[in-house]
């Protein structure tokens, strides 16, 4: 669990590198202690002599370090930002040393509630401390320091990746040159908080959750996690987009659950999305990461959000998505304006789409058009 010699560090090969790295002990912002934290990460490209050409990609709630590249032995799916990261792409791996790490609290190689608690020999479960977006960022900073990175040319991500991006600019002003928080604001609104809590209640109400100690029992709260995912998916799409994609069409797929007066395509879709997540994600991680999303408030620890935003030295481009109802574009724009008012060099751009919140994971052309000029300075 120590740093792979040379893995992703200066002089590393251009091929993606996947590794685990121990950052040692960690003290989460809200209390508790983690005696040993490992982060799983991948890198693409080479770190420059000045060690200032690094890009950090921050993944969303159920994402992982596999941001680019195709399926591999470790990842049955291709990278979540595959069309954005590579030679000649907006995040150009010929120019940048690109790093993506699974967040603290996650379940794709980094230390999280499914990890074994040192000393007890059993998984943390709900004894894992509450993790914040700032904790994720501080852990990432330690990884980047150990990789020899001296400055981030860019940090970028959507949703809770966007929250991390914004927090990077606030927490480490002199370390970040450009930041692109996508579909994220200084603080999630009550509608998003409510939808999050519906998902967590579904997990916690599942008897197989067993107060979080389901590891090794042969039972997992899959039913609850699937419902949480269904609720999440609703917030990732827009009503007009769903009219276009699903309408009121009957389902064409085999039933996963009891049929009741027929079944609409949107229901079948949600059932499949729910089941898919249970095959790759830990329910406790879902609880912790969704809670981190809820708790994030850029003003936390400062007098006000204005004081927080005034710390920013990076050039920031807030990107809103017209049909996003988790982080509505009006609220993203308002965050950009408040950052501007605090003196930050903050811009706002909007992606016009019916894709909803998830546009940052699918509307590649619009994303490229919006982001590439900001990154390249063209």
Residues that bind a copy of itself (CB under 8 A): 30, 130, 187-191, 193-195, 197-198, 200-202, 204-207, 223-224, 226-227, 230-231, 233-234, 237, 239, 242-243, 245-248, 257-258, 260-262, 264-267, 270-271, 274, 287, 291, 294-295, 297, 325, 328
Residue 164 CB, nearest distance to a copy of itself (Å)? 17
349 three-state secondary structure: strand
Q: Which CB, 77 or 219, lies closer to a copy of itself? A: 219
Q: Which CB, 179 or 298, lies closer to a copy of itself? A: 298
Chain position carrying tokens 């929250």: 163
In sequence order, what are the residues at sequence separation of 6 or more whose Cβ sits closer than 8 angstroms to the Cβ of residue 175?
A: 141, 151, 152, 168
Catalytic residue among 108, 110, 115, 159: 159
Residue 64 CB, nearest distance to a copy of itself (Å)? 23
Given the DSSP bridges, would you call strands 152-158 and 178-182 parallel, antiparallel or unpaired? parallel
Chain position carrying tokens 């709630």: 61
Q: Give how far Cα 68 sits from Cα of 227, 311, 328, 332, Å.
A: 28, 31, 27, 26
Given the DSSP bridges, would you call strands 17-26 and 315-321 parallel, antiparallel or unpaired? unpaired
DSSP 107-176: SSSS--TTSBPTTT-SB-GGGSPP--HHHHHHHHHHHHHHTT---EEEEEEETHHHHHHHHHHHH-GGGB
Cα–Cα distance for residue pair 227/200, rounded to 1 Å: 9
Q: Which CB, 245 or 311, lies closer to a copy of itself? A: 245
Residue 325 CB, nearest distance to a copy of itself (Å)? 7
The verdict on whether 135 is a catalytic residue reads no
Residue 185 CB, nearest distance to a copy of itself (Å)? 11
Residue 191 CB, nearest distance to a copy of itself (Å)? 4
Residue 11 CB, nearest distance to a copy of itself (Å)? 41
Chain position carrying tokens 């981190």: 292
The verdict on whether 357 is a catalytic residue reads yes
In sequence order, what are the residues at sequence separation of 6 or more whose Cβ sits closer than 8 angstroms to the Cβ of residue 138?
A: 26, 29, 171
Q: Which CB, 51 or 299, lies closer to a copy of itself? A: 299
How does 45-67 read in b/e, with b if 16+ C-beta sit within 10 Å? bbbbeebebbbbbbbbbbbbbbb
Catalytic residue among 20, 66, 271, 357: 357
Which residues sit opposite 21 in a β-bridge?
A: 39
Q: Which CB, 193 or 342, lies closer to a copy of itself? A: 193
CB 331 within 8 A of CB 211: no
Q: Which CB, 147 or 230, lies closer to a copy of itself? A: 230
In sequence order, what are the residues at sequence separation of 6 or more whose Cβ sits closer than 8 angstroms to the Cβ of residue 76?
A: none
Catalytic residue among 324, 335, 355, 358: 324
Q: Which CB, 118 or 189, lies closer to a copy of itself? A: 189
Residue 256 CB, nearest distance to a copy of itself (Å)? 10
Chain position carrying tokens 């710390």: 311
The verdict on whether 285 is a catalytic residue reads no
Which residues are annotated as catalytic? 159, 324, 357
């Amino acid at each position: 669990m120590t740093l792979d010699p040379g893995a992703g560090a200066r002089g590393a090969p251009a091929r993606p590198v996947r590794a685990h790295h121990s950052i040692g002990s960690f003290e989460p912002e809200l209390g508790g202690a983690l005696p040993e934290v490992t982060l799983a990460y991948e890198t693409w490209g080479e770190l420059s002599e000045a060690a200032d050409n690094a890009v950090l990609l921050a993944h969303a709630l159920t994402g992982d370090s596999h941001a680019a590249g195709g399926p591999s032995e470790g990842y049955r799916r291709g990278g979540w930002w595959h069309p954005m990261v590579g030679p000649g792409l907006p995040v150009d791996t010929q120019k940048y040393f690109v790093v993506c790490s699974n967040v603290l609290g996650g379940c794709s190689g980094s230390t999280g509630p499914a990890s074994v608690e040192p000393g007890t020999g059993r998984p943390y479960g709900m004894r894992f401390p509450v993790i914040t977006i700032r904790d994720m960022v501080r852990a990432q900073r330690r990884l980047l320091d150990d990789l020899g990175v001296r400055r981030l040319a860019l940090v970028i991500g959507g949703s809770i990746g966007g929250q991390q991006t914004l927090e990077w600019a606030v927490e480490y002003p002199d370390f970040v040159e450009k930041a692109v928080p996508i579909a994220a604001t200084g603080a999630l609104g009550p509608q998003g908080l409510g939808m999050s809590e519906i998902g967590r209640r579904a997990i916690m109400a599942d008897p197989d959750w067993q107060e979080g100690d389901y590891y090794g029992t042969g039972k997992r709260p899959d039913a609850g996690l699937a419902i949480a995912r269904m609720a999440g998916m609703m917030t990732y799409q827009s009503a007009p987009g769903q009219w276009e994609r699903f309408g009121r069409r009957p389902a064409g797929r085999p039933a996963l659950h009891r049929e009741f007066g027929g079944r609409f395509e949107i229901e079948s879709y949600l059932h499949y999305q729910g089941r898919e997540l249970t095959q790759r994600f830990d329910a406790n991680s879902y609880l912790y990461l969704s809670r981190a999303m809820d708790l994030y408030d850029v003003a936390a620890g400062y007098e006000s959000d204005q004081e927080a935003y005034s710390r920013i030295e990076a050039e920031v481009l807030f990107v809103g998505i017209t049909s996003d109802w988790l982080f509505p574009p009006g609220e993203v724009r308002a965050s950009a304006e408040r950052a501007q008012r605090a003196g930050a060099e903050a811009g706002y751009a909007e992606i016009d789409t019916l894709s909803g919140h998830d546009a940052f994971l699918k509307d590649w052309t619009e994303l490229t058009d919006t982001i590439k000029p900001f990154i390249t300075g063209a």
